[in-house]
Amino acid sequence: MASLECNNEAITGLSLAWAGCMLFFHAHRDNEDISFYRHIDRRQRSVVWTYLPFDDGEFIETIWWGADIFASFCSIVVSTNRGRVMTMGPHLNPWRPPAVWSRVFAASGGPDRIYWDYSQWGSRKLATTSPADQTPGPSISHISPRPYTSGPILYSSASLQDIIGIIPCQKRHKAHLSITGLLICYPNNCQACVGEVRLDSLCTTIKVADFPALYLGFTYAEHKFPYLARIELLPPKDMETYEWLELGWQGTLEWWYESRQCKIWYNDKESPATHM
């Protein structure tokens, strides 16, 4: 049984690793050792990470754990005292049996601990000092449709208003380098993220304040799976190598992702689809 401390002022965010089930749960602190990413990589090559950065004074208010009747699906929803609600696990597949949600953690007003199984088979439940109940989990709304995939897929979204910078997260695959997610910076040291973000794979901050738009360039892995390969601040000239999606500084960016590909929506525009 492993555990992590939560709702301590020194904690700067949460990360979870998923590969069919939850593999690892981590509370971040400043100047920490982040070699745990490489350790999990050695255990599972197809692992996907979710990251929730905390703003100053932000802490966990509630955690819900969801699982279907066959225990083949599990996920976590976290809400904070700032009104932020994030699914830190796979998005429920509407073609499978519905999940049953249970509130497994409620803030007590001070530091607390969350316990979970740490094994080669992963964890399919959490334990806390809070009494579990059947308080309904929050509804994670999304404008874009859930992409069809044969396996689990994760969902994230963030506002594009008042952004001052973005920090891409890159991942090296066998034959290519992909941008798996963005850590988004707002005024007053506030942050959000979309896609897969891991703190050992961040690039240099791209300052966007003086540019009217952001351009995302996509291509395919194995001629089938779309992924983000380029980010530009000026209208791109290379229109043949990549398919481009232009973002403005308003509205919401939605980012669906799994280990091989991503699907991004902005207003009524979308990134390339998977080649079936």
pLDDT at 66: 83
As a whole number of angstroms, the distance between CA 150 and CA 162 comes to 36
- Asked if the model's pLDDT at residue 218 lies above 90, the reply is yes
Q: Are 11 and 110 found together in one domain?
A: yes
- Lowest pLDDT segment from 77-91, 141-155, 187-201: 141-155
Please check whether residue 174 lies inside any domain of the structure: yes
Q: Are 6 and 119 found together in one domain?
A: yes
The CATH number for 253's domain is 2.100.10
Mean pLDDT value of segment 39-65: 92
Burial-class residue 150 by CB neighbours within 10 Å (0-12, 13-18, 19+): exposed
Q: Count how many domains the chain has.
A: 2
Q: Are 122 and 171 found together in one domain?
A: no
What would the pLDDT profile of 97-139 be if each residue is shown by its tens digit? 777 888 888 888 888 888 887 766 677 677 777 766 666 666 7
- Asked if the model's pLDDT at residue 271 lies above 70, the reply is yes
Q: Are 166 and 108 found together in one domain?
A: no
pTM of the prediction? 0.92
Mean pLDDT value of segment 22-40: 93
- Asked if the model's pLDDT at residue 79 lies above 90, the reply is yes
Q: Are 159 and 263 found together in one domain?
A: yes
Q: Are 111 and 194 found together in one domain?
A: no
- Asked if the model's pLDDT at residue 179 lies above 90, the reply is yes
pLDDT at 137: 67
- Lowest pLDDT segment from 4-13, 88-97, 128-137, 203-212: 128-137
- Over the chain, what is the mean pLDDT? 89
pLDDT at 52: 97
- Comparing 250 with 275, which gets the higher pLDDT? 250
Q: Are 71 and 120 found together in one domain?
A: yes
- Domain interval for residue 38: 2-128
Q: Are 203 and 244 found together in one domain?
A: yes
- Asked if the model's pLDDT at residue 92 lies above 70, the reply is yes
